[in-house]
């Protein structure tokens, strides 16, 4: 969906779904040194909006001396340099998968909360109203979107919020999500059916339990999972994800919390607590009605030991809970836990606190999470609008029952996970861990994963990634105790990568996200964090070493 086009709903829109009201490109021509100085002195915010500043930044840098060297002028220089650097970023064309044009039924795109017919297909006029709103970015247009029930869409206008620390959300790119009929999406949905069927299998039995063995064998039929083994089933894709227990140490170890420590035993749901496998319940939820069932809770708190526990944790966590807990654990390791590039690792007279210390660490983690969500919301609402797995599973159900034919990849239709699901539940709907199914915003990328990618990236930049985790643990199969882990050494960097994957892919286990939502969310979050770190470095006094870290793809960078 590149360039301007008119879709089958008759709405002209661009691939970025924005208007001049949102991106004010009313650019003047600033050609003289005097005009640059006058603008710097009177309206610094306007500097970023003028292309001539970006094009003539060398001349402006030479004019900095005329601004003075008092504290306010130095602060202005820092802000202008950061703004110019962001303005000069190369921004490629946004790519989408084309489903919105290719499928008149719109089954490949997000529509939960809008009115649907008996097959779960969205009312086209209602979807047209959604498109008008994301094209105009006007509050009144969002207010005019018809809803199918009482549930409200989750902050779609956040897609157009400006981000002034790090890169603006509209300046970042991820690949187009897999299309409705692709083998890649078929493989991802097969993985989700298997994840639902194995929610109650302890992580320690992956590769031993017969269901997990069958899952790995089936998934290898798909190119996306051709190298999956029983040992790597449902895991993330970094090196750290493949070492040691399935779950990151940062989700098991006690969390230092001021004068106490918090045990990471959590409330979970009972085995077999699955939802939205009844067609009428499923249809009501697609229309935005409240669920007719509730979760059934275990009376005993447990350490996370299986997919159901992780999915339930992932439903109740606050925005960046896992990563602020990881930061508190890392801070408890002492000053030597920080990376060697920290100026206070070798300082004879100073210790870090306000910068390169606890206060700075916690603040950066929070900021990274906030910026990551803005970036994810732009991708979700303004660009991709990918359907949730529960919605596509409804198409699978109706297709297999000959109610409607859809262009579903044949490899998915032959997966034994579908027949096993029907035997258990009497439908081909994807069993959900949450009675309400997914939240009311599009699927791609995953917000949890984007936050995870951003937060662990800043933590890897601040802390020594190579440091071994002291006294690592693993949960017993009943989740009641933690046992000593005695396998291959676990490092801070590896366990942070694993933590990001656990938090992102744990939403897959619950049935509400696709694998590519999580993987691309991590990569988007990493981009967000790197842009924040670049700006942050320029605010640090006498800090020339730069931030050093390992990216998710295994390469090392210094900022």
Enter the tokens of residue 295: 């979760």
The residue among 164, 145, 192, 119 whose CA lies nearest residue 381 is: 145
- The CA distances from residue 249 to 312, 470, 473, 523, in Å, are 18, 10, 7, 22
* CB neighbourhood size of 240 (10 A): 25
Enter the tokens of residue 30: 């600033």
**What's 149-167 look like in SS3?**
CCCCCCCHHHHHCCCCCCC
Do 460 and 370 form a contact (C-beta atoms < 8 A)?
no
| Spatial separation of the C-alpha atoms in residues 239 and 197, rounded to whole Å | 27
Do 322 and 452 form a contact (C-beta atoms < 8 A)?
yes
| Spatial separation of the C-alpha atoms in residues 7 and 526, rounded to whole Å | 33
Across 63-98, b (16+ Cβ under 10 Å) vs e yields ebeebeeeeebeebbebbbbbbbbbeeeeeebbbbe
The answer to whether residue 23 is catalytic is no
Active-site option among 275, 384, 397, 448: 448
The answer to whether residue 441 is catalytic is yes
Phi, psi of 294 (to 5 degrees): -135, 160
Cα 489 off chain centre by: 28
- The CA distances from residue 219 to 11, 129, 237, 238, 427, in Å, are 39, 38, 15, 19, 21
Active-site option among 116, 275, 441, 513: 441
Enter the tokens of residue 260: 């106490």
| Spatial separation of the C-alpha atoms in residues 244 and 279, rounded to whole Å | 40
The residue among 239, 120, 547, 165 whose CA lies nearest residue 109 is: 120
Name residues whose C-beta falls within 8 Å of residue 242's C-beta, 6 or more positions apart in sequence: 231, 232, 235
| Spatial separation of the C-alpha atoms in residues 46 and 435, rounded to whole Å | 48
Do 323 and 463 form a contact (C-beta atoms < 8 A)?
no
- H or E segment to which residue 58 belongs: helix 57-62
- The CA distances from residue 396 to 116, 299, 389, 414, 471, in Å, are 16, 36, 10, 11, 46
Do 81 and 530 form a contact (C-beta atoms < 8 A)?
no
| Spatial separation of the C-alpha atoms in residues 13 and 5, rounded to whole Å | 6
Across 40-58, b (16+ Cβ under 10 Å) vs e yields beeeeeebbbbebbbebbe
Catalytic residues: 441, 448
């Amino acid at each position: 969906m590149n360039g301007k086009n008119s879709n089958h709903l008759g709405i002209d829109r661009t691939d970025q779904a924005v208007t001049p009201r949102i991106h004010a490109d009313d650019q003047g021509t600033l050609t003289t040194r005097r005009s640059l100085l006058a603008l710097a002195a009177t309206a610094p915010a306007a500097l970023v909006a003028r292309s001539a500043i970006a094009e003539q930044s060398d001349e402006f840098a030479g004019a900095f001396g005329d601004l003075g060297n008092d504290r306010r002028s130095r602060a202005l220089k820092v802000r202008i340099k950061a703004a110019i650097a962001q303005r000069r970023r190369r921004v490629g064309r946004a790519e989408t998968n084309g489903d919105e044009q290719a499928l008149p039924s719109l089954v490949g795109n997000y529509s939960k909360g809008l009115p649907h017919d008996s097959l779960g297909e969205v009312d086209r006029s209602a979807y047209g109203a959604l498109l008008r709103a994301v094209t105009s970015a006007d509050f009144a247009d969002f207010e005019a979107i018809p809803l199918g029930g009482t549930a409200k869409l989750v902050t779609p206008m956040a897609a157009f919020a400006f981000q002034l620390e790090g890169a603006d959300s509209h300046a970042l790119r991820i690949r187009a999500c897999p299309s409705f009929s692709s083998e890649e999406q078929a493989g991802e949905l097969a993985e989700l059916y298997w994840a639902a069927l194995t929610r109650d299998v302890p992580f320690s039995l992956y590769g031993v339990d017969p269901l997990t063995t069958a899952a790995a064998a089936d998934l290898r039929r798909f190119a996306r999972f051709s190298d999956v083994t029983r040992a790597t089933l449902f895991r993330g894709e970094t090196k750290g994800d493949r070492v040691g227990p399935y779950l990151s140490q940062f989700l098991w170890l006690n969390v230092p919390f001021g004068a106490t420590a918090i045990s990471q035993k959590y409330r979970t749901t009972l085995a077999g607590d699955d939802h939205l496998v009844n067609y009428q319940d499923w249809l009501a939820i697609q229309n935005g009605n409240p669920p007719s069932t509730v979760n059934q809770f275990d009376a005993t708190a447990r350490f996370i030991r299986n997919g159901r526990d992780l999915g339930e944790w992932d439903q109740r966590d606050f925005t960046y809970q896992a990563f602020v807990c990881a930061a508190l654990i890392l801070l408890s390791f002492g000053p030597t836990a920080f990376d060697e590039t920290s100026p206070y690792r070798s300082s004879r007279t100073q210790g870090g606190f306000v910068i390169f210390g606890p206060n700075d660490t916690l603040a950066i983690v929070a900021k990274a999470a906030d910026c990551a969500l803005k970036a994810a919301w732009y991708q979700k609402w303004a660009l991709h609008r990918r359907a949730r797995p529960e919605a596509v599973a409804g198409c699978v159900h109706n297709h297999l029952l000959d109610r409607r034919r859809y262009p579903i990849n044949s490899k998915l239709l032959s997966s034994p996970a579908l027949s096993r699901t029907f035997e258990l539940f009497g439908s081909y709907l994807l069993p959900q861990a949450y009675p309400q199914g997914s939240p009311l915003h599009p699927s791609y990328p995953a917000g949890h994963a984007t936050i995870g990618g951003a937060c662990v990236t800043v933590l890897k930049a601040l802390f020594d990634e190579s440091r071994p985790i002291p006294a690592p643990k693993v949960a017993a199969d009943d989740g009641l105790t933690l046992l000593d882990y005695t396998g291959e050494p676990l490092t801070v960097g590896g366990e942070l990568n694993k933590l990001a994957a656990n938090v992102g892919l744990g939403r897959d286990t619950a049935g509400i996200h696709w694998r590519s939502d999580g993987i691309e969310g991590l990569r988007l979050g990493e981009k967000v964090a790197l842009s924040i770190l670049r700006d942050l470095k320029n605010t640090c006094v006498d800090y020339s070493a730069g931030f050093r870290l390992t990216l998710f793809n295994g390469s090392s960078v210094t900022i």
